[in-house]
């Protein structure tokens, strides 16, 4: 029996889990916030990467890593660290969903000839958060820094490089690379021309190594695996495979599934990412998930989502004909950037708080079911759906999700799945290096402890609610999914 560690460097903190190599059981864990001060509690757009190292050191304190044979690194996906020719940071890392880069995103889309050209090139259309877009912003806003930039790393690449003592060889993995906007999951190759289009000149890029490859070994003999982005690490930690999808309920929502090939999507609704195992992770996002619930709770004068859920459970499926199209911030899926939400089906008998509460939950879940259907429509097999986020625990979500999604729904217990996924990757690389594991087959760890919900007899009812939602969407926004 050996032990491995996985660390997840998220936008706000570092979590470390130490796991049994064979079973994945979590033996020890550590946590530390990033020492980053932001104005008014907002997330900063620029962060000195040294903050990630300080946080890592603090989280690993007290002998947490004693006896560990290998480490995997997961980190926030959209951060880009520009380095000069000596390997020093040119400026703080550009992180997060950077609002400053919105104009740059539109510029880049036009510069290559539109959304379809980007989808064909790298499987995704530039958004403000993407590294490629941040490079365009850098070239336009800080041309001197852009000129000094000789090497580009993402957060997990940079951390792996630091752990290894800053060797000449710099590496990344398919998962992280697929989120940059200048590497194609379909071809498995960089597009240096897109780096030049964004930054104004070429830059060195890290070598993309295989899912079970080691990035290197520290002077102390500790093996460091390839590392990956948080999304890919969480999927790996959950243990999802073919036939599985993950629906994440944040303020906005996302749906991703495991698929054997990359999906180029001309509409730009699907972002074609690679996963941490050699497969693909097509992702569809919605702008409105839990924000629709919070808005409804405020409208009804309720203190929290638990109260909204309790109220919704007093209504019945279909909310007495009340339908909420939850497009409160505009929407990406379908692509309706300038629209607003719609409440339809108002009749005297439907004008009760419990029916509005129910319509909010059904509207949110139907919007995510639409996103699932985008993937299903491209041949993605979805038999089981993992539902993530605190809202997944709400009774009103659990009562409706299986029948609206038309599949078994799994609600995993809260855990540090990105850190666990990073540890599983470390165990894989360690096993391959020792000759005990196949580079094509990751270690079989225990799956996430979870609650399993079946659609059962409610399936027909759920499909009727979906039809009601679809009819209102088609009437309000004709052809939104076909435009």
- State residue 54 phi and psi, 5-degree precision: -60, -45
- State how far the Cα of 223 lies from the Cα of 217, in Å rounded to an integer: 4
pLDDT digits (tens, 9 = 90+) for 371-424: 999 999 999 999 999 999 999 999 999 999 999 999 999 999 999 999 999 999
The token pair at 313 is: 């459970």
Q: Mean pLDDT in the chain?
A: 95
Q: Please check the confidence at residue 104 and state whether its pLDDT lies above 60.
A: yes
Hey, what are 454's tokens?
A: 């079946």
Rounded to an integer, the average pLDDT of 184-191 is: 95
pLDDT value, residue 67: 96
Query: What is the DSSP annotation of 147-188?
Result: HH--EEEEHHHHHHHHHTTS-S--EEEHHHHTTSSSEETTTT
> In the predicted model, is pLDDT for residue 465 greater than 60?
yes
Buried b (16+ CB within 10 A) or exposed e, 357-386: bbbbbbbbbbbbbbbbbbbbebebebebbb
What pLDDT does residue 99 have? 77
pLDDT per residue over 296-344, tens digit each? 999 999 999 999 999 999 999 999 999 999 999 999 999 898 999 999 9
**Region label for 269, one of left (φ > 0), alpha (ψ between -120 and 50) or beta (otherwise):** alpha
SS (H, E, C) 282-298: EEEEECCCHHHHHHHHH
Opening angle at CA 40, ends 39 and 45, nearest 5: 45
Q: What is the pLDDT of residues 133-165, one digit of tens each?
A: 999 999 999 999 999 999 999 999 999 999 999
User: Cα(173)–Cα(274) distance, rounded to whole angstroms?
Assistant: 9
In the prediction, which pLDDT does 42 show? Answer: 61
Tell me the pTM.
Answer: 0.93
Are residues 36 and 47 in contact, defined by beta-carbon separation less than 8 angstroms? yes
How do beta strands 270-274 and 253-257 pair? unpaired
User: 55 by DSSP, 3-state: which?
Assistant: helix
Peptide bond between residue 334 and the one before it cis (omega within 30 degrees of 0): yes
- Reduced to 3 states (helix: H, G, I; strand: E, B; else coil), residue 434 is helix
pLDDT tens-digit readout, 40-94:
656 678 999 999 999 999 999 999 999 999 999 999 999 999 999 999 999 999 9
User: Of 234, 239, 335, 238, which is closest to residue 284 (Cα–Cα)?
Assistant: 335
Token pair, residue 61, equals: 């304190």
């Amino acid at each position: 029996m050996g032990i491995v560690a996985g660390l997840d460097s998220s936008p706000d903190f570092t979590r470390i889990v130490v796991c049994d190599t064979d079973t994945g059981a979590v033996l020890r864990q550590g946590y530390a916030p990033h020492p980053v001060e932001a104005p008014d509690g907002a997330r900063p757009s620029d962060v000195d990467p040294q903050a990630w190292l300080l946080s890592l050191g603090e989280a690993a304190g007290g002998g947490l890593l004693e006896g560990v044979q290998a480490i995997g690194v997961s980190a926030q996906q959209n951060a880009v660290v520009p380095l000069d020719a000596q390997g020093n940071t040119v400026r703080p890392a550009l992180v997060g969903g950077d609002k400053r880069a919105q104009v740059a995103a539109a510029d880049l889309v036009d510069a290559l000839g539109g959304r379809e050209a980007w989808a064909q090139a790298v499987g995704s259309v530039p958004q403000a958060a993407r590294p490629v877009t941040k490079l365009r912003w850098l070239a336009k806003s800080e041309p001197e820094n852009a000129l000094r930039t000789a090497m580009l790393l993402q957060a997990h690449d940079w951390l792996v490089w630091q752990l290894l003592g800053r060797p000449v060889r710099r590496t990344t993995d398919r998962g992280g690379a697929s989120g940059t906007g200048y590497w194609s999951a379909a071809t498995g190759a960089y597009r240096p021309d897109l780096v030049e289009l964004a930054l104004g000149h070429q830059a060195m890029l890290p070598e993309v190594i295989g899912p079970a490859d080691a990035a290197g070994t520290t002077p102390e003999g500790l093996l460091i695996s390839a590392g990956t982005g948080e999304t890919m690490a969480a999927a790996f930690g959950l243990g999802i495979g073919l036939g599985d999808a993950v629906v994440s309920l944040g303020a906005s929502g996302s749906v991703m599934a495991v698929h054997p090939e990359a999906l180029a999507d001309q509409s730009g609704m699907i972002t074609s990412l690679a996963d941490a195992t050699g497969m693909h992770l097509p992702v569809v996002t919605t702008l409105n998930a839990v924000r629709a619930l919070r808005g409804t709770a405020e409208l009804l004068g309720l203190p929290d989502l638990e109260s909204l859920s309790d109220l919704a459970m007093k209504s019945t499926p279909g909310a007495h004909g009340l339908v909420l199209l939850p497009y409160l911030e505009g929407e990406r899926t379908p692509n309706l950037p300038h629209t607003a939400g719609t409440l339809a089906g108002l009749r005297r008998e439907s004008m009760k708080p419990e029916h509005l509460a129910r319509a909010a939950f059904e509207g949110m879940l139907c919007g995510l079911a639409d996103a699932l259907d985008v993937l299903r429509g491209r041949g993605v097999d979805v038999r089981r759906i993992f539902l993530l986020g605190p809202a997944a625990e709400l009774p009103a979500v659990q009562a409706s999700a299986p029948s609206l999604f038309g599949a078994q729904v799994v609600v995993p217990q809260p855990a540090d799945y990105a850190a666990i996924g990073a540890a599983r990757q470390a165990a894989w690389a360690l096993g391959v290096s020792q000759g005990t594991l196949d580079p094509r087959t990751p270690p079989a760890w225990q799956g996430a402890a979870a609650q399993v919900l079946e659609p059962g007899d409610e399936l027909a009812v759920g499909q009727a609610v979906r039809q009601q939602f679809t009819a209102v969407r088609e009437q309000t926004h004709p052809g939104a999914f076909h435009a």
